[in-house]
């Protein structure tokens, strides 16, 4: 067996990370400083030199893909398989624990996992039943609130106890709490957990159940957590409960890359690590092995503007390199097509498309790039959005699988009960629902005894019984037949592919194709699973996998393509050439996140994360005019650009307006506007670029109003009031 040359492969600090295995360690790892490598070598060191059994090691990564890559690289390094190592995301590790420990929990081991859409449809039902006005109690806010409380380990009963402490003027909180309570009941009734529940129940279980905790403390002798700056309170508790006795915990993170506070992540976890685990050894990795100096200079200058951080500077030995380019364009279409042109130039020079990424703040921005790249005949793939699994036909089919696996999952059953249409309409379904409710049985059971359900038409009764029998026949296969065969059987008997193919609508035809592709994806999963576990996967192996699958996990490496993704999704990746688009006020920083200094700093970190993805070439751009939904906006270059010294960029395309921009930047909180004006139709107004115009229509008030203007120059545009003046300059 080959010896591993730790000293040769690692720098001094990295070596320290690898070899300090006995106490708590905090690794503050700058972008591109080789933290993944350190984690891999640390695993190798534990397994090979310290003879630790693989199942005694827990490594938590940020994505499933990162977990897979870590495992692959480790096996290559060690030259032996390490399958029983626990590597995965918090969600996948926890769902595994919950399935194992279901005897101690209020749900079965085959619980369903509910995504956002499922969550919303449960909420919708509650709103309807309770007659709640969604204008008064916005659903999105409730959904958010539930998530926030769960991340802080608070279930409805915990809130109930503290209700009196809160002042509840509008009665909003009482309403929220009622909804939260019903929501949680509904989920339990369906034997379903949402994403946050997976963490919450694991944390609570470890906190309150001594024997279970002892079991996992003993099992996970060594714990490593990547991206620790993005862990929330629930995740903190999980780690803490496991490691609080032995303290053999190694966390890796970078406060400058914390970008998930909206998900409850708290920088506290990294800043107070030393309080939680006394005797911590802190190690800093600052040498960057990824980017040229020119890029790092920009990155350092950006992040230096943040106040709340551990001061540090990235440096590398990769040479000065090309200065980043800053370009401004007329509008978002020109921005996209010019980026496509640049990509073609890079391609002509021989750059692999896989080494090019286009980054943006919001998912909606991807559309323009898709169009421009298509026009330029450049293949691309969107990383991160779960396009495939969000398609209706795929979700429907997954609904079948969920209903077969978990007969309590009423959500899933309702989704498919009349899909494809089989003559079981709303009226019949409502009869079933009320019968199920009265008798405290699941919808599935109600269907089974359709003969006893009052109110049903004879035709409906027959159809329900037939469908119920069909489901029952598939259910018999669930535990005995490999998932791939089950999928094929169900798909064939439903005859969905033929059904969609019969249509003339190209949309429907695409659905047929997608279903075929779905089968391919299941068979890919089955193949990998079989080689890892030496048996074919059952439905119960597949469902948790798809539910926790993220868009980040499924990029087809084989295809040469430019990667499009949001700034959030680019974390942990690197590319030779990176384009960051849309550096405009209200887009980056985003208008929803510029209220407080904290929010602005997080947006700035987002920009920083994007910049530090680039190895050799970096292009930053903004549009002077942007179209959003049905209106037009004149934009201002982002604060994050204005605050930078121009020398950091290659000069060519800089808008002269920028260089003259003031260095000390405006106060953040919404500026008091002298222009809380009153607009009226027919009024004459002036615009910086378009000149004189007349208001044709007013929507809203003051500077927030959207105005339709006819300009003297002949142009018609919808413009925000804040961009207009009542007097000429």
Partner DNA sequence: CTCCAGATTATTTTT
Partner DNA sequence: TAATCTGGAG
Residues that bind DNA (CB under 7 A): 63, 89-91, 115-116, 124, 134-135, 140, 147, 195-196, 260, 262-263, 361-364, 384-386, 418, 421-428, 460, 548, 550-552, 566, 568-569, 590, 592-593, 629-630
Task: Give residue for tokens 């009052």.
Answer: 454
Both tokens assigned to 514: 């997608």
254 is catalytic: no
- Which burial class, exposed, middle or buried, applies to 676 when counting CB atoms under 10 A from its CB (0-12, 13-18, 19+)? exposed
Min dist CB 420 to DNA, Å, is: 8
- Catalytic residue status for 576: no
Q: Strand pairing of 562-566 and 625-628?
A: unpaired
Is the Cβ of residue 49 or residue 701 nearer to DNA in the bound state?
A: 701
138 or 651: CB nearest DNA? 138
Report the nearest approach of DNA to the CB of residue 692 (Å). Answer: 25
Smallest gap from Cβ 388 to DNA, in A, equals 13
Active-site residue (options: 13, 14, 35, 626): 35
At its nearest, how many Å lie between DNA and the CB of residue 195? Answer: 4
Closer CB to DNA, 91 or 626, in the complex: 91
| Known catalytic residue at 257 | yes
What does the DSSP assignment read for 304-373? Answer: TT-SSS-----EESS---PPPEEEEESSHHHHHHHHHHHHHHHHHTT--GGGEEEEESSGGGHHHHHHHH
Closer residue to DNA (CB): 592 or 696: 592
As a whole number of angstroms, the distance between CA 569 and CA 189 comes to 34
Q: Which is nearer to DNA, 247 or 590 (CB)?
A: 590
Tell me the pairing of strands 575-580 and 614-623: parallel
Query: How many residues appear in the chain?
Result: 729
Q: Which of 9, 16, 19, 36 is catalytic?
A: 36
Q: Is 227 marked active-site?
A: yes
Helices (H), 504-596: 506-533, 539-548
What's the Cα-to-Cα distance from 424 to each of 202, 427, 432, 435, 442, rounded to whole Å? 39, 8, 10, 15, 17
Instruction: Reduce the DSSP state of residue 96 to 3 states and report it.
Output: helix
Contact 196, 159 (CB under 8 A): no
Label residue 509 exposed, middle or buried (CB < 10 Å: 0-12, 13-18, 19+). Answer: middle
User: Minimum Å distance from CB 232 to DNA?
Assistant: 9
Is the distance from CB of 48 to CB of 79 less than 8 angstroms? no
Angstrom distance (rounded) from CA 103 to CA 276? 31
Choose between 91 and 613: whose C-beta lies nearer to DNA: 91
Nearest to DNA of 56, 147 (CB atom): 147
Place of tokens 């969920």: 402
Closest approach of DNA to the CB of residue 91, in Å: 4
Q: How far is the CB of 206 from DNA (least distance, A)?
A: 18
End-to-end CA distance of the chain: 79
CB closer to DNA, 90 vs 690: 90
Least CB distance to DNA at residue 498 (A): 15
Q: Is 98 exposed, middle or buried (0-12, 13-18, 19+ CB in 10 A)?
A: buried
Q: CA nearest 588: which of 361, 334, 359, 257?
A: 361
The single residue of 227, 297, 335, 602 carrying the catalytic annotation is 227
Q: Which of 227, 286, 297 is nearest to 255 (CA)?
A: 227
Phi and psi for 513 in degrees, rounded to 5? -60, -45
The catalytic position among 226, 254, 584, 602 is 226
Integer angstrom CA distances of residue 622 from 210, 567, 634, 639: 55, 15, 11, 12
Nearest distance from residue 569's CB to DNA, in Å?
Answer: 5
> What kind and span of H or E run contains 29?
strand 25-29
36 among known catalytic residues: yes
Annotated catalytic residue 191: no
Catalytic-role residue among 204, 613, 616, 626: 613
Q: Which is nearer to DNA, 13 or 395 (CB)?
A: 395
Set 143, 231, 235, 257: catalytic member: 257
The set of catalytic residues is 35-36, 226-227, 257, 613
């Amino acid at each position: 067996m080959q010896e591993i040359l730790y000293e040769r492969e690692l720098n001094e600090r990295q070596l320290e990370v690898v070899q300090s295995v006995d106490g708590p360690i905090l690794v503050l790892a700058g972008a591109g400083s080789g933290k993944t490598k350190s984690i891999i070598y640390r695993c190798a060191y534990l397994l090979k030199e310290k003879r630790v059994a693989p199942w005694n090691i827990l490594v938590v990564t940020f994505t499933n893909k990162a977990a897979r890559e870590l495992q692959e690289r480790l096996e290559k390094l060690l030259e032996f398989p390490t399958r029983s190592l626990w590597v995965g995301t918090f969600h996948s590790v926890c769902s595994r624990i919950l399935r194992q420990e279901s005897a101690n929990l209020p749900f079965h081991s085959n619980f369903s996992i509910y995504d956002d859409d499922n969550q919303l449809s449960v909420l919708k039902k509650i709103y309807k039943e309770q007659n709640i006005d969604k204008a008064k109690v916005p659903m999105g806010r409730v959904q958010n609130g539930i998530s926030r409380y769960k991340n802080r380990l608070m279930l409805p009963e915990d809130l109930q106890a503290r209700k009196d402490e809160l002042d509840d003027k509008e009665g909003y909180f009482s309403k929220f709490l009622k909804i939260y309570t019903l929501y949680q009941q509904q989920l339990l009734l369906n034997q379903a957990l949402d994403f946050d529940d997976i963490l919450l129940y694991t944390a609570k279980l470890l906190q309150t159940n001594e024997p279970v905790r002892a079991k996992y403390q003993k099992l996970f002798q060594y714990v490593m957590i990547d991206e620790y700056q993005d862990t929330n309170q629930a995740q903190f508790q999980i780690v803490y409960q496991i490691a609080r006795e032995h303290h053999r915990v190694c966390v890796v993170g970078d406060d400058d890359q914390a970008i998930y506070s909206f998900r409850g992540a708290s920088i506290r976890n990294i800043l107070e690590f030393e309080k939680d685990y006394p005797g911590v050894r802190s190690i800093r990795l600052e040498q960057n092995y990824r980017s040229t100096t020119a890029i790092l200079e920009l990155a350092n200058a950006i992040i230096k503007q943040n106040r709340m951080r551990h001061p540090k500077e990235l440096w590398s030995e990769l040479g000065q390199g090309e200065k980043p380019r800053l370009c401004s364009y007329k509008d978002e279409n020109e921005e996209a097509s010019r980026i496509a042109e640049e990509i073609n130039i890079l391609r002509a020079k021989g750059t692999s498309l896989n080494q090019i990424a286009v980054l943006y703040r919001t998912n909606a921005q991807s559309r323009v790039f898709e169009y421009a790249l298509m026009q330029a005949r450049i293949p691309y793939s969107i990383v991160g959005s779960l396009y495939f699994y969000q398609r209706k036909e795929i979700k429907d089919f997954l609904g079948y699988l969920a209903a077969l696996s978990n007969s309590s999952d009423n959500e899933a059953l309702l989704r498919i009960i009349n899909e494809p249409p089989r003559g079981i309409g709303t009226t019949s379904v409502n009869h079933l629902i009320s019968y199920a409710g009265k008798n405290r049985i699941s919808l599935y059971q109600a269907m089974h005894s359709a003969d006893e359900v009052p109110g049903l038409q004879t035709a409906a009764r027959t159809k329900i019984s037939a469908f119920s029998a069909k489901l029952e026949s598939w259910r018999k296969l669930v535990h005995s037949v490999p998932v791939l065969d089950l999928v094929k059987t169900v798909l064939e008997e439903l005859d969905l592919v033929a059904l969609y193919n019969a249509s003339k609508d190209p949309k429907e035809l695409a659905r047929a194709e997608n279903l075929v592709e779905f089968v391919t994806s299941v068979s890919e999963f089955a193949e990998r699973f079989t080689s890892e576990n030496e048996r074919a996967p059952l439905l119960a192996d597949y469902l948790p996998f798809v539910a926790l699958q993220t868009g980040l996990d499924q990029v087809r490496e084989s295809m040469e393509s430019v990667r499009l993704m949001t700034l959030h999704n680019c974390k942990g990746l690197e590319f030779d050439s990176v384009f960051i688009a849309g550096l405009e006020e209200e887009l980056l920083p985003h208008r929803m996140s510029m209220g407080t200094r904290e929010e602005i700093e997080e947006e700035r970190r987002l920009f920083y994360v994007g910049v530090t993805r680039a190895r050799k070439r970096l292009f930053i751009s903004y549009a002077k005019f942007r179209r959003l939904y049905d209106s037009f906006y004149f934009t201002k270059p982002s604060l994050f650009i204005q605050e930078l010294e121009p020398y950091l960029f290659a000069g060519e395309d800089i808008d002269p307006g920028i260089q003259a921009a003031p260095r000390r930047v405006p106060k953040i909180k919404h500026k008091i506007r002298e222009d809380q004006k009153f607009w009226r139709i027919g009024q004459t107004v002036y615009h910086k670029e378009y000149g004189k115009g007349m208001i044709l229509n007013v929507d809203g008030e003051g500077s927030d109003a959207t105005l339709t203007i006819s300009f003297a120059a002949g142009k018609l545009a919808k413009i925000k009031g804040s961009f207009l003046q009542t007097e000429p300059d």
